[in-house]
Amino acid sequence: MSHGFDTARLDRIPAFLAAKYVDTGRLPHAATLVSRRGETAHLSCIGEARPGEALKEDAIFRIASMTKPITSVAFMMLVEEGKVALSTPLAKICPEFNDTGVFVAGGGNVPFLTRPPLQPIRMVDVLRHTAGFTYGFQERTPVDAAYRKARIDDFDADYTMDSFIANLAKIPLQFDPGAHWNYSMATDVLGAVVERIEGKPFAEVLQERIFGPLGMVDTGFKVPADQQHRLTDAYAFHPADKTQDFDAGARSRWAKDRSLHSGGGGLASTLQDYHRFCLMLLGGGKLGDTRIISRKTLDLMTSNHLPGGGDLTQHSVGIFSEDENAGVGFGLGFAVTIDPARAGILGSVGDYYWGGMFSTGFFVDPVEEICMVFMTQLMPSSTYPVRREVKTMVHAAIDD
């Protein structure tokens, strides 16, 4: 027994990950940290960070969309200070969106035909992905294609925050704000909003308001040169070879300066750093003597904000509409479990989570007082159900 866990059951996690994923070449490595009531109950690192180098506890990972909850917390800090509200129209802060219409027809070599939106994009729409934005990689609609053509969500495109907003605003919305849910560039827009409200680079805001106060010493948009040896290699799925090189730690794009700091997916972090962020969430917005946001703000963020209390299968028009997202709602920066039975996975009503493109993930279970952070580096994250499997094994280890 350790912190209300059966330690033998927790030890199944690295054994399972090794047997099914790492030893078979499906994943390069896997790191798992589980805590309960603020105390670490399990920490394991298996596989190789780089060829011939064992994965260590201080490894730095590209966390991609696990950036989104951090950006969302930063925005809600500004809400608490009265600088902006959930009901604030996006165009009030980013007037570039004043003339952005809703897609009707066209695309490709044909000019878009649009109509005015039935209601303006509000900041709550940006936070919960109901603004009408999308991602080019979804490859479903002419709007997705326009994102790809403009390289609006291309990690290596040479955008600044302002030019990103200006170019995104020229592309039609997929639907009326508030009408549907679609995973999107919305949180990148949110980062730009934070930058404009605060009048300083978004990266500085995160450092001053979240990373510094929480002691997240290895989290940022650029891995410093003297720490680059800790940055793992990243891979992409290959149907025949299982993995193929995507971004080597020794010459990584995450170790270079960027003109755009992606609030939706740009950060690198560590197991311990992200765990500190999770502990703050579990603590109702507070870690130790450091309060980041209020308990009531976090309660609002981790409530289901989908219209009518529905789930992702009912509201999503793209990815995340699959059956496994039944019983899962979406808050202000997090997915939220609203019905574990319908979700078909061990957990609690009100637990919340998200993951990243490289198959990283975390969850916070306020009922059981559990935090879990899982790190690996394989894209896309839909390749294997590893995060659901790890969450199941964590909850299966509860023994009190």
pLDDT in tens, 128-165: 999 999 999 888 899 999 999 999 998 778 899 999 99
- Whole-number pLDDT of residue 126: 98
Give the model confidence (pLDDT) of 5-27 as tens digits: 999 999 999 999 999 999 999 99
User: From the centroid of its chain, how far is CA 399?
Assistant: 30
What is the arithmetic mean of pLDDT over 79-102? Answer: 98
Please check whether residue 127 is in contact with residue 118, taking contact to mean a CB–CB distance below 8 angstroms: no
Dihedrals φ, ψ of 372, to 5°? Answer: -140, 135
Residue 108 pLDDT greater than 90, yes or no: no
Residue 308 pLDDT greater than 90, yes or no: no
Residue 108's CB: how many other CB atoms inside 10 A?
Answer: 10
Please check whether residue 68 is in contact with residue 263, taking contact to mean a CB–CB distance below 8 angstroms: yes
Radius of gyration of the chain (CA): 20
Residue 198 token pair:
């605060």
Residue 78 pLDDT greater than 90, yes or no: yes
Q: Where in the chain is the domain with CATH 3.40.710.10?
A: 7-66+215-396
Between CA 296 and CA 194, with CA 283 as vertex, the angle to 5 degrees is: 60
Distance between CA atoms of residues 153 and 11, nearest Å: 39
Please state which CATH number belongs to domain 77-198. Answer: 1.20.58
**CB neighbours of 385 closer than 8 A, spacing ≥ 6?**
none
Distance between CA atoms of residues 202 and 194, nearest Å: 7
7-66+215-396 to CATH, choices 3.30.70.890, 3.40.710.10, 3.10.105.10, 3.40.50.360: 3.40.710.10
Residue 121 token pair:
């994009």
Q: Where in the chain is the domain with CATH 1.20.58?
A: 77-198
H/E stretch holding 268: strand 268-270
- DSSP per-residue string spanning 36-52: ETTEEEEEEEEEEEETT
